[in-house]
Structure 1
Amino acid sequence: MQLYTINTGYFKLDGGAMFGVVPKTIWNKLVPADENNLCTWAMRCLLIQDGNRLILVDNGIGDKQDAKFFSHYYLHGEDSLDKSLARHGFHRNDITDVILTHLHFDHCGGSIIRQGDKLVPAFPNAVFWSNDRHWNWAVNPNDREKASFLKDNIQPIQESGQLQFIPTPENGIARFSDTIQLRFVYGHTDAMMLPQLTFKDRTIVYMADLLPSTAHIPVPYVMAYDMFPLTTLNEKKSFLKEAQENNYILYFEHDAKNECCELELTEKGIRSGRTFDLKEL
């Protein structure tokens, strides 16, 4: 197995929304906001080369929405999905599997591209993996979350015939392959999947939006975007204890500075320990 960081660019979101009930006087020291109270976040995906499979976890925001949509998110940076794939010698046509942690636009927007007046899969040779519980949640969205579920990102995947579902596990963990498991969590959105890998005798967990960044490791630091914040809080407590005790590596999708970290137990609780890039493993 080989792992590659795939950076797809940066965007901005309201700092208060990203930290929920935590006061700005605290979170602004961790992730400084600009004059509009916006903080910069990464859209960092993961490419897994495993035997004859080339598996992409999430794919960023994409580029097919209109200028008004993108004006809300201040996309910036030199990275893109295609540039990052090419940097490692790959093309989107090489992708065999796309694991979608969930269907919010900043995680799955790169799944679909425009070809003339048609919307088609960006990865023509890939299977797109979701789960039926989250899929149904996304295609029948609640009023609070529906702005995050864009039909242009979702419907064309199903229409392509390339969509398959991971069965929802009873114990919270589904097996994707011999080296990849999917942890199901329910606080941020219903049935989000976190890939968990065995790599060089270490366990790496792709955190998606359970822990968007190292700044979100303290248990009360829960996003206002989360549908069920108390569920998130309990999921974080349980996961962080397991991860610290077993020396897991956390891989962050949205942390603009830190790709990975280990955890350490301090007098204040579990906190970020050593931070490093994936290529250092």
Structure 2
Amino acid sequence: MPAARYHVGGLAIRVLSDGCSWQDAGAVHGLVPRVMWERVTTDLNAQHQIPLALNCLLLESDGKTVLIETGQGDKDFDQLRARGGAVGHGKLLDALAAEGVAPGDVDIVINTHLHNDHCGWNTRRIGGALRPTFPNARYVVQAGEWDVATHTNERTRATYLADNLLPLRETGQLDLIDGETAVTSQLTVVETPGHTADHASVLIRDGGETAIYIGDIAQHRVQLERVAWISAFDVLPLVSLETKKRLVREAVAGNHLILSVHTPYPGAGRLVQREGRNHFIDEAPERDHEPVATSAQSRGGA
């Protein structure tokens, strides 16, 4: 199945799925009582987990093939099965191949943060050794996030996995940035703290239109509609609240296309206000399209 496609101005955006990750519903909704979140959560499994989509973006900008986020990858399959957990992820490379994109075609990878469900395909095992999955890419990460991810504590060590990170430094492909940074003329990494102290999102702008890939600002659509609903996974919940209030205000005023990592595939929609309440309205992808050549293919590469 071809990737879901959207346009921002003249810029084509493709949403690729790495599958889904099953997470405890109570943790996703934080301090919100179960009697309230059960009204908006209809897909619980027997372990009271809900599936969180793993939506990544593929774009061509300034002659570069850009991948935003790399999903959960495939390195944790054995660990999950040993715990009796469900394995629903690890599909990103197949999704890229279906679009005619090989790992070597990717020029830039952007991570909003470095939790294992957002950077799992940063690396993979090749011949028994861990290597960057995208051998020709710069990996763009906030410097503060990298520092926290590589100096873990009792709370963070289960979500920051060295196997996803350290090979990037060893091969010299790591591109650490500090704060708001233009990666291309159409893509800007912006600070959206709360989920982690140095969490970032990606603004996509072209032809007077704007989209924002929100990372983990919200892990469920209702968290955009009710900004006080904050996940237990957020390390700075009050900062998350202020970040979400700002994002919602700007998204409503600018009619921004919101691209969500964890909302069910393809995870795109817009926020509208009706009678003082926010509503996240799904946006259907465009129909019928042909794969767009990557920058490497345009240059005559493989």
TM-score normalised by L of structure 2:
0.85
Contact 2:15 2:266 survives alignment (8 Å): no
1:197 counterpart residue number: 204
**CA deviation vs aligned residue, 1:152-196 (integer Å, no higher than 9, x gap):** 11111111111011222xxxx332221111111221012111011
1:214 aligns with 2:221: yes
* Aligned counterparts of 2:255 and 2:153: Cα–Cα separation in 1: 37
Alignment of 1:1-281 (within 5 A): 1-32=11-42, 33-65=44-76, 67-69=78-80, 74-76=86-88, 80-168=91-179, 173-217=180-224, 218-257=226-265, 259-272=267-280, 274-279=281-286
Q: 4+ residue runs of structure 1 moved beyond 4 angstroms? A: 70-73
**CA deviation vs aligned residue, 1:87-141 (integer Å, no higher than 9, x gap):** 2221111100000111100000111111223100000111111121111111112
* Aligned counterparts of 1:48 and 1:70: Cα–Cα separation in 2: 34
Percent identity of the aligned residues?
27
Shift of 1:74: 1.6
SS at match of 1:279: coil
SS at match of 2:117: helix
Provide the aligned length of Structure 1 versus Structure 2: 275
Shift of 1:216: 1.5
Contact 1:259 1:278 survives alignment (8 Å): no
Structure 1 stretches of 5 or more lacking a match? none
Contact 1:4 1:88 survives alignment (8 Å): no
Contact 1:113 1:120 survives alignment (8 Å): yes
Which structure has the higher relative contact order (CA within 8 Å, separation 6+)?
2
Structure 2 stretches of 5 or more lacking a match? 1-10, 288-302
Amino acid in structure 2 at the alignment position of 1:74: A
* Aligned counterparts of 1:165 and 1:86: Cα–Cα separation in 2: 28
Shift of 1:70: 5.3
Contact 1:264 1:270 survives alignment (8 Å): yes
Contact 2:54 2:262 survives alignment (8 Å): yes
Amino acid in structure 1 at the alignment position of 2:98: R
Shift of 1:145: 1.8
SS at match of 2:88: coil
TM-score normalised by L of structure 1:
0.92
Amino acid in structure 2 at the alignment position of 1:185: T
